[in-house]
Structure 1
Amino acid sequence: MIGGGQLARMTHQAAIALGQRLRVLAVTPDDPAAQVTPDVVIGSHDDLDALRRAAAGADVVTFDHEHVPPELLDKLVADGVNVAPPPSALIHAQDKLVMRRRLDALGAPVPRFAAVTAPADVDAFAAGADTALVVKAVRGGYDGRGVTLARDTAQAREAAADFLQSGVGVLVEEKVEMRRELAVLAARSPFGQGAVWPVVETVQRDGICVEVIAPAPGLDDDVAGAAGRLALRIADELGVVGVLAVELFETVDGGLVVNELAMRPHNSGHWTMDGSRTSQFEQHLRAVLDYPLGDTTPLAPVTVMANVLGAQQIPTMSMDERVHHLFARFPDAKVHLYGKAERPGRKIGHVNVVGAPGGSIDDADYVADVRNRAALAAHWLSHAEWTDGWDPHDER
């Protein structure tokens, strides 16, 4: 696996159960995956020699991020390396303009968009736009980086000029008037088998996902079915091998619009570790190894994942002690920590809370209770404070 982050770390956990050995290409020995797997190559994802050392003798090479230069992947393929997903598919997760054009050609729902080669292109696009504008770096952005939601055409033009001056490709698109953000994960094997998990709702704050509700509450069955079929179709049309995440906007009129693609395990699928018969990490390995795919049935009416984000003020209480107190209050919470140093806003882990049997995704109180427990747990791990004022020493 190219990249030694938390996705590689959690994929390593799944590899152990399958009797596989996962080698990781990590930047440093302190990277999350390098801390837990014995087979580590230290090097950069943009160094061909490091990529070749990581790939030597491997059955398959896959990724925990999309940042490997395509021309280097082409050289690995020329060397005879089995790269999954192949570069011809992965480019659609690396280059937003390539992705937009291909999905548009397939008839998939995407925002109206245009390539920007000069600031004047923004003015031309804005003249026919019905909504606010979004300016995006074509490559490299994530967690809200590389994206500017412009308040007016002047700001959009300025953002485009800044990107262009930095040597970054740019596109501009219409802002989608949305009800909420959704995501659907699918997996596809070289054999052509596909599998899809239920559509989830993702809650964003400052461009970063803070919560995932699985399945998405209040989603029309026909819309959910359409989202799953769309993900499977995209995976098949693009030749994806492995997990594909399709980030979606649910529009105010109940339609769907594709926002982003990722071809690897994804933050919106972390709930599957405890809430599905097959986790996204096991499924990704099954797919790239061309095993039959696993059952994606949820284990509970609702599972909520809450990201643990580094606090602005790092607590003096150790993380070990925070975990101790969390388990004392919520013994059913499932904690997944990434071995990362704490810093403000950094994803250092996540918590999954699986709803009790007998509930229903249509029961708003039931869903709210699971969401509340997940949010309380994640905030406690980040800040060492209970937002509801709970005190274990109060008389009960």
Structure 2
Amino acid sequence: MVGGGQLARMTHQAAISLGQSLRVLAADENDSAGLVAGQVVIGHHTDLAALRAFAAEVDVLTFDHEHVPNEHLRTLAAEGFVVRPGAEALAFAQDKLLMRERLSAQGFPCPAFTQVSEVDDVAKFAATHSWPVVLKTARGGYDGRGVWMVESDAEARALVPELLAAGAELLVEQRVEMRRELSALVARSPFGQGAAWPVVETVQDGGINTEVLAPAPGLAEPLVQQAQEIALRIAAELGVVGVLAVELFETGDGLLINELAMRPHNSGHWTMDGSATSQFEQHLRAVLDYPLGATSLRAPTVMANVLGAPETPEMGPDERLHHLFARFPEVRVHLYGKGERPGRKLGHVNLTGQAIEDVRERAKLAAHWLSHAEWLDGYQIH
């Protein structure tokens, strides 16, 4: 796996039960996966020589992020290395404009959009679709980065020329009036087998996913089926191998596609404790061309991200865990071995249970305690 972050760390854990050894290409031995994986190679994902040497020692090359230059992946594939997902598929997760053009051409439901080559492109788009509009960088950007809500022509003229001068490729999209955000997580093998997990609701704060509710509460069955069908069709038509997350907007008129991720995804962390097969095991099964695992729901599950507090608590992580388990012995904790800093994803917690609002409160309390060493006020735990 190229990338030494928390996704590689959790994929390493899943590999153990499959009898596999996950080799990791990490930028630093202290990266999240570098701290636990037995086979860690130090190298950068933009270095073709490092990628080539790494690929020569493994059976299959896969990724915990989408930032490997696509031309490097095409070179590796041309040299006979097995790369999953392939460069042709991964391009649509790396480039939002390319993704929008391809999916719209194939009839998938997407917000209105256009490429931005000059500042007047934004004003022309807004003249048809009204202000505010959403400006995005086509490449890079995650957790709210590379996305701007532009309220007026004056804001566009202050922002767009600077971004274009810096070399950013831009697109502008219609601002969507949505009820909530959803995620349809699926997997596909080289053989063409597909599997879909229950559709989940994702809760964002400042562009960062803070909670996942599995399954999405109150989502009508026709929309569940539509979301799963959209994701499975995209996986098949783009030739995805591995896990695919399709982020969706639920609107008054139906579903719209937001973004794609071709790897294990934050919206699938709940599967570690709430599904028959975790997304990390499934990703390995897919890229190794094993039969895919069952995706059935064990119990309704809430995932809450543990985000770094504004100030690092005096109480150490070990003592925080001690107090947490004393209060909530049923909580499942997954920490990433990262140094604490404000807003950083340090880990997540999963809780299961039938009373989803109570489970959600417990998950929020647990995650906040782990990051802040203080209990949130106003929550009534039964």
Q: Which residue of 1 aligns with 2:9?
A: 9
1:157: how far off? 3.8
1:191: how far off? 0.1
User: 1:381-392 counterparts in 2 under 5 A?
Assistant: 381-388=370-377
Q: Which residue of 1 aligns with 2:357?
A: 368
Q: 1:234-288: CA deviations, max 9, x gaps? A: 000000000000000001x151000000000000000000000000000000000
Q: Which residue of 1 aligns with 2:274?
A: 275
Inter-partner Cα distance in structure 2 for 1:323 and 1:199: 30
Task: Check if 1:114 corresponds to 2:114.
Answer: yes
Q: Which residue of 1 aligns with 2:322?
A: 324
1:132: how far off? 2.0
Inter-partner Cα distance in structure 2 for 1:74 and 1:123: 37
The letter for the 2-side match of 1:385 is E
Task: Check if 1:262 corresponds to 2:251.
Answer: no
Q: 1:319-364: CA deviations, max 9, x gaps? A: 0110111000000000000000000000000000011xxx3xxxxx
Contact kept in structure 2, 1:135 and 1:159, CA below 8 Å: no
Q: 1:282-323: CA deviations, max 9, x gaps? A: 0000000000000000101x1000000000011000001101
- What is the SS of the residue equivalent to 1:127? helix
Inter-partner Cα distance in structure 2 for 1:121 and 1:110: 19
Contact kept in structure 1, 2:60 and 2:81, CA below 8 Å: yes
Inter-partner Cα distance in structure 2 for 1:218 and 1:27: 43
Q: 1:178-205: CA deviations, max 9, x gaps? A: 0000001000000000000011000000
Q: Which residue of 1 aligns with 2:285?
A: 286
- What is the SS of the residue equivalent to 1:135? strand
- What is the SS of the residue equivalent to 2:134? strand
Inter-partner Cα distance in structure 2 for 1:157 and 1:319: 46
Contact kept in structure 2, 1:123 and 1:157, CA below 8 Å: no
Q: Which residue of 2 aligns with 1:337?
A: 335
In structure 1, runs of 5+ residues without a counterpart are 360-365, 391-396
Inter-partner Cα distance in structure 2 for 1:164 and 1:70: 22
Shift of the 157–224 alpha-carbon distance from structure 1 to 2, 3 Å rule, reads farther
The letter for the 1-side match of 2:307 is L
1:154: how far off? 2.4
Inter-partner Cα distance in structure 2 for 1:388 and 1:116: 45
1:127: how far off? 1.5
Q: Which residue of 2 aligns with 1:220?
A: 220
1:59: how far off? 1.1
The letter for the 2-side match of 1:2 is V
Inter-partner Cα distance in structure 1 for 2:93 and 2:10: 21
Task: Check if 1:156 corresponds to 2:156.
Answer: yes
- What is the SS of the residue equivalent to 1:141? coil
Q: Which residue of 2 aligns with 1:393?
A: none
Task: Check if 1:173 corresponds to 2:185.
Answer: no
The letter for the 2-side match of 1:350 is H
Inter-partner Cα distance in structure 2 for 1:111 and 1:159: 22
User: 1:129-140 counterparts in 2 under 5 A?
Assistant: 129-140=129-140
